[in-house]
Amino acid sequence: MTAQLRNGSCADQRVEGMNPVPRRRSPEALDVVVDVRVWLAVICGAAAGLTYFVTAWTAAGQVWDQRVFLFARSELSVLPVPAWARIPWVSSPVLWIGVAVLVTVFGVVGGLRWRTTLYLAFPPGMILLARVLRLAVLERPELAGAAGWAADNAAPSGHATAAAATAVVLTMAAPRAVRPWIAVVSAGWVTLIGVQLIVAGWHRPGDIVLAILLVGAFSAVLPRPRTAASPAMVLLITAVAGIAAGVLAVWATVGADGLGPKTTQAFGLVAVCAGVVVSAVPGPGRSRLGPRGATNRGR
């Protein structure tokens, strides 16, 4: 009888150990898990708003934006670049079909399932949003302090939006092993397209920067890929490499001769935005906020 009671007690202990009763935690001790992409998207959105305000609603911003545009259009010329890196390629059906196939293949391999559909819908949706903003929402008034420098609004650039949105979804859908490489190459390509749009006289620098930042802001609506997120250090290195790829793209597009201070600032800003949005926004994991966030990072 005693042995049976002992055995029953041990069995109860094992059951209790296997199915512990959850302890209720006070609201003050609860962890709030936040996707880092949300914070990056908020930063991109704030930066996009600031870019539009400075370049469209301040006299100094209008003058700077238009001067870079006129100088680049008249004094710079695009060096020979491969056909796939030229502006018409952005609207080519070959590009869109190729990206759709790659995203679909990545989705099948990575088990993305319904995420693949949202990734495929993101670039067209961003292009439509950019068009509505450019034609019906955003304005570029002629300010007294910028007489002769104002022009019709052309922000955000549709081509830059398409390039950035395509690069973001391709990076997000890619397997973790190749994601950094795709991010770096894509960031360089986005910068390459943006610089060509300025030099060819299609858009001002503010139009390009605004388009890239808007893509970064709205990328938060995309679901996270099922593959594990890259470590923070890998993301940082990837972002820096993406910016470096953008700088290299500038050199490959217009060379280093004849670049003035304002043009260098504008092209560098395009490279930084492309590197951060394409490399960093698609990949970060989650952060914990709250009183116990610092102690529960490993859980």
**Among 246, 238, 253, residue whose Cα is nearest residue 270:** 246
Query: Whole-angstrom Cα distance, residue 192 to residue 250?
Result: 6
Q: How confident is the model at residue 154, as a pLDDT? A: 84
Tokens of residue 260, six digits: 């003035």
Q: How confident is the model at residue 193, as a pLDDT? A: 93
> pLDDT tens per residue, the chain (299 residues)?
455 545 555 545 444 445 554 455 444 433 344 566 778 888 999 999 999 999 989 988 888 998 899 888 888 888 778 877 889 889 889 989 999 999 999 888 877 788 888 999 999 999 999 999 999 999 888 876 665 655 678 889 999 999 999 999 998 888 888 888 898 999 999 999 999 999 988 999 999 999 999 999 998 888 876 655 556 677 778 788 888 888 888 887 787 666 778 888 899 999 999 998 988 776 655 544 444 444 444 33
CB 163 within 8 A of CB 127: no
Q: What pairs with residue 32 in β-bridges?
A: 289
Q: How confident is the model at residue 35, as a pLDDT? A: 60
Single pTM value for the model:
0.81
Q: How confident is the model at residue 237, as a pLDDT? A: 80
> With b meaning 16 or more CB within 10 Å and e meaning fewer, what string describes 131-154?
eebbeeebebeebeebeebbeebb
Residue ranges with strand state E in the chain: 32-35, 286-289
Tokens of residue 16, six digits: 């209790």
